[in-house]
């Protein structure tokens, strides 16, 4: 197979600093303008900054092996990497003051210098790829980070099983029933819809705990006694079953706007930290990514809590709705029983005896989710909620964001549980808007 030359855009490096090692035995060219753009991001305290610093380290290591200007082999079995400048004469439609145009001019230069070799521009920027194609350059996206083929194949946490009518009868009669091993592909803590093969209207719900464990009945009637927040559909019931299970420290909930995922998470958290009966956790920690992600919140006035509050208004609205009083929320905040946390400063912390809610987690990258989950200490539950159809972070998409990453990577673990919300409960108009707009 003929060797190719890949011209890598800044967006690729800022999403995956290890991309250098993913192009097999093909050569890589980094435009000088890309190095300048990477340098501007290196001080950010998020995954973009992490990737910027890491790619600089990779390049410094390669520099020790040879000349980046002349070209240096990445490693055995890989191609040559070099840093190149713009073409001396830009096409008339390219503006030398525009960074993307400078990067594309480097690709044009490579095409002119090696006319017999295929030169490909690699970018996560759609418009960059469109302009490249318009200039006669081959362009490709970079999708190495995705953990699932497409959004429709993301693990839902629920599976329908066709079983004998007698099986359903025995389950309702309170008898111990077990699933046959090897008949279905099931995951720990996966919810099951047991449907009678002779009567589709006869069904039961349960949660898979293992082939050697009898299928349990799901009962969440007494879960939220203090404020009376009750599930309105089976997905919300499944969520409560997970959220009140002491054996599952990681919960992921996804669903469209108004499906109740955040409300369920907060109601369960308040009950287990501030409820009238048994309190399992000392405090409720809430946060969400600040968009643009990684932007220093110091530009906003006040304390860290005051700076974060505009971003956390949806969470605050839910808490005030549950508590029924704004003054109660402020009182718990002052006592430290509810804590506002900026994700920018979570690295290095160890959070114990807490119930943590990270809302809008679809705007996190895989690296950021890893950073957050590794902060979890003893007797702590963490809940990640979000809607993978509404992503504001330009460095992720439906199949590569941190929430999808966590769902797919943890679905085989007994320490995690997941459910996808499918029905809107906020209002009829909100449900309709989420479907048709």
Q: 332: part of which helix (H) or strand (E)?
A: helix 326-335
pLDDT in tens, 101-150: 999 999 999 998 888 999 999 998 889 999 999 999 999 988 765 677 67
| 347 and 245 belong to one structural domain | yes
Residue with the larger pLDDT of the pair 409 and 1: 409
Exposed (0-12), middle (13-18) or buried (19+): which is 382, by Cβ within 10 Å? buried
> Based on the structure, what is the number of domains in the chain?
2
User: Is the per-residue pLDDT at 273 higher than 80?
Assistant: yes
| 259 and 387 belong to one structural domain | yes
- Would 59 be classed as within a structural domain? yes
User: Is the per-residue pLDDT at 314 higher than 80?
Assistant: no
Percent of the chain topping pLDDT 70: 91
| 135 and 235 belong to one structural domain | no
- Would 126 be classed as within a structural domain? yes
Cβ–Cβ under 8 Å, residues 171 and 204: yes
Query: What are the two backbone dihedrals, phi and then psi, of residue 347, each rounded to the nearest 5 degrees?
Result: -60, 135
Task: Spell out a b/e string for 107-130, using b for 16 or more CB atoms within 10 Å of the CB, else e.
Answer: bbbbbeeeeeeebbbbbbbeebbe
- Would 356 be classed as within a structural domain? yes
Range of the domain at 110: 4-140
- Would 33 be classed as within a structural domain? yes
Query: What are the two backbone dihedrals, phi and then psi, of residue 303, each rounded to the nearest 5 degrees?
Result: -75, 175
Give the residue-averaged pLDDT of 146-165: 87
Structure-block tokens of residue 196: 């009678």
Q: Where residue 52 sits, what CATH number does that domain have?
A: 3.40.50.1010
Tell me the three state secondary structure of residue 135.
coil
Average pLDDT, the chain: 87
Q: Where residue 322 sits, what CATH number does that domain have?
A: 3.40.50.300
| 131 and 279 belong to one structural domain | no
Exposed (0-12), middle (13-18) or buried (19+): which is 335, by Cβ within 10 Å? exposed
- Would 127 be classed as within a structural domain? yes
| 241 and 124 belong to one structural domain | no
Residue with the larger pLDDT of the pair 227 and 382: 382
- Please give the pLDDT value at position 107: 92
pLDDT in tens, 69-104: 999 999 999 999 999 987 777 777 788 888 899 999
User: Is the per-residue pLDDT at 383 higher than 70?
Assistant: yes
Number of Cβ within a 10 Å radius of residue 192: 21
| 130 and 242 belong to one structural domain | no
User: Is the per-residue pLDDT at 358 higher than 50?
Assistant: yes
Distance (Å, whole) CA 51 – CA 16: 6
Look at residues 87, 119, 140 and tell me which one is the last residue of a structural domain: 140
Exposed (0-12), middle (13-18) or buried (19+): which is 70, by Cβ within 10 Å? exposed
Structure-block tokens of residue 198: 């002779």
- Would 159 be classed as within a structural domain? no
pLDDT band at 226 (very low <50, low <70, confident <90, very high): confident
Give the residue-averaged pLDDT of 216-229: 83
Q: Which residues, 6 or more positions from 427, have their beta carbon under 8 angstroms from its beta carbon? A: 258
Look at residues 107, 140, 173 and tell me which one is the last residue of a structural domain: 140
- Please give the pLDDT value at position 206: 96
Look at residues 101, 122, 140 and tell me which one is the last residue of a structural domain: 140
User: Is the per-residue pLDDT at 315 higher than 90?
Assistant: no
| 122 and 259 belong to one structural domain | no
Cβ–Cβ under 8 Å, residues 148 and 123: no
- Would 145 be classed as within a structural domain? no
Q: Which residues, 6 or more positions from 383, have their beta carbon under 8 angstroms from its beta carbon? A: 243, 251, 252, 253, 265, 268, 269, 355, 356, 357, 358
- Please give the pLDDT value at position 151: 77
- Would 112 be classed as within a structural domain? yes
| 134 and 259 belong to one structural domain | no
Please tell me what DSSP assigns to residue 139: E
């Amino acid at each position: 197979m003929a060797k190719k030359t890949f011209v890598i855009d800044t967006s690729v490096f800022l999403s995956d600093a290890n991309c250098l090692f993913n192009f097999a035995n093909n050569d890589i060219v980094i435009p000088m303008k890309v190095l300048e753009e990477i340098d501007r991001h290196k001080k950010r305290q998020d995954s973009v900054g992490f990737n910027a610093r890491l790619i600089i380290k990779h390049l410094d290591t390669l520099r020790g092996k040879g000349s980046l200007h002349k070209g240096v082999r990445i490693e055995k079995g890989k191609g040559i990497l070099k840093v190149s400048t713009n073409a001396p004469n830009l096409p008339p439609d390219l503006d030398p003051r525009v960074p993307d145009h400078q990067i594309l001019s480097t690709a044009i230069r490579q095409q002119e210098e090696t006319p017999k070799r295929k030169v490909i521009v690699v970018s996560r920027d759609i418009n960059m790829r469109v302009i490249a194609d318009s200039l006669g350059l081959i362009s490709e996206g970079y999708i190495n980070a995705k953990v699932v083929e497409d959004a429709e194949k993301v693990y839902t946490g629920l599976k329908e099983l066709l079983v004998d009518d007698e099986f359903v009868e025995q389950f309702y009669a309170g008898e111990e029933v077990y699933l046959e091993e090897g008949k279905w592909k099931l995951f720990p803590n996966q919810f099951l819809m047991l449907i009678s093969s002779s009567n589709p209207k006869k069904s039961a719900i349960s949660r898979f705990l293992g082939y050697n464990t009898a299928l349990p009945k799901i009962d969440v009637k007494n879960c939220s006694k203090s404020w009376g927040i009750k599930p309105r559909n089976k997905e919300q019931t499944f969520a409560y079953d997970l959220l009140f299970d002491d054996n599952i420290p990681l919960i992921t909930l996804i669903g469209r706007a108004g499906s109740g995922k955040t409300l369920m998470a907060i109601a369960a958290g308040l009950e287990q930290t501030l409820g009238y009966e048994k309190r399992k956790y000392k405090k409720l920690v809430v946060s969400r990514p600040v968009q643009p992600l990684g932007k220093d919140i110091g530009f906003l006035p006040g304390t860290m809590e005051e700076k974060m509050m505009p971003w956390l208004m949806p969470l605050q609205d839910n808490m005030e709705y549950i508590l029924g009083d704004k003054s109660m929320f402020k009182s718990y905040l002052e006592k430290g029983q509810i804590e506002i946390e900026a994700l920018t400063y979570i690295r290095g912390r160890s959070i114990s005896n807490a119930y943590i809610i990270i809302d809008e987690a679809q705007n996190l990258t895989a690296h950021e989710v890893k950073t957050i989950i590794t902060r979890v200490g003893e007797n702590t539950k963490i809940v990640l909620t979000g809607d993978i159809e509404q992503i504001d972070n330009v460095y992720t998409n439906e199949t590569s964001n941190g929430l999808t990453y966590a769902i797919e990577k943890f679905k085989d673990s007994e320490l995690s549980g997941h459910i996808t919300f499918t029905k809107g409960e906020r209002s009829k108009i909100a449900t309709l808007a989420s479907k048709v707009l």
